[in-house]
Amino acid sequence: MVKLERLRADHADAILTFERENRAYFARSIPDRGDAYFTPAGFAERHRALLEEQHAGVCHFHLVLGEQGDIVGRVNLVDVAEGSAELGYRVGERAAGRGVATAAVAQVCRLAATDYGLTALTAVTTLDNLSSMTVLGRNGFTRLGDTTVAGRPGVRYVRRPLPTA
């Protein structure tokens, strides 16, 4: 069972460790964040900016915690506007293939409706990220059409309506 925890200031060190440990793994399927992101100063600045966006209500950031309370992934709702947001998520290599992403996305879909008052979510993934497409499909997202993700061929999805239970 996974648990979602809303992003807080005191999560910074643990998140940076998680991101560093999984950098090469993530870069295989999503664009790399760049070297500056992984420096203590660069990460601290980015973390503060995320907390400000969350405080303003334009984004909702969550950690995915494993059974031992360790960070195994992240799931976020960004660009909140007019009852909708874009979903983004990543699960670390140690937790991949165990249903963590599917469970975390299901939980954030419910939170989006019940806690954040959203009525729809969108998501994009690259065409070669079959795992992500599977997670979205299992969570009731439907394919909208083709797009690009950081210059790579991709697919756009939508989930409407969102589950409330």
Q: Is residue 30 part of a domain?
A: yes
Q: Is residue 111 part of a domain?
A: yes
- Say what the pLDDT of residue 44 is: 93
Q: Which residues contact 159 (CB under 8 A, 6 or more apart)?
A: 87, 109, 120, 121, 122, 123, 136, 139, 140, 141, 142
Q: Is residue 109 part of a domain?
A: yes
Q: Tell me how many domains the chain contains.
A: 1
pLDDT at 47 over 90: yes
What is the pTM for the complete model shown?
0.93
- Cα–Cα distance for residue pair 5/2, rounded to 1 Å: 10
- Say what the pLDDT of residue 119 is: 97
Strands 84-91 and 120-126 come out as parallel
Q: Which pair of tokens denotes residue 147?
A: 């797009």
pLDDT digits 0-9 by tens, 105-148: 999 999 999 999 999 999 999 998 899 999 999 999 999 999 99
User: The domain spanning residue 37 has which CATH number?
Assistant: 3.40.630.30
Q: Which domain holds residue 13?
A: 3-159
Q: Is residue 38 part of a domain?
A: yes
Q: Considering the chain, what is the average pLDDT of its residues?
A: 94
pLDDT at 156 over 80: yes
Q: In degrees rounded to 5, what are phi and psi of residue 150?
A: 50, 45
pLDDT digits 0-9 by tens, 17-34: 999 999 999 988 777 788
Q: Summarize the chain as % helix, strand, coil (round to 5).
A: 40, 30, 30
Q: Is residue 165 part of a domain?
A: no
- Cα–Cα distance for residue pair 9/51, rounded to 1 Å: 7
Dihedral Cα 126, 51, 99, 28, nearest 10 deg:
40
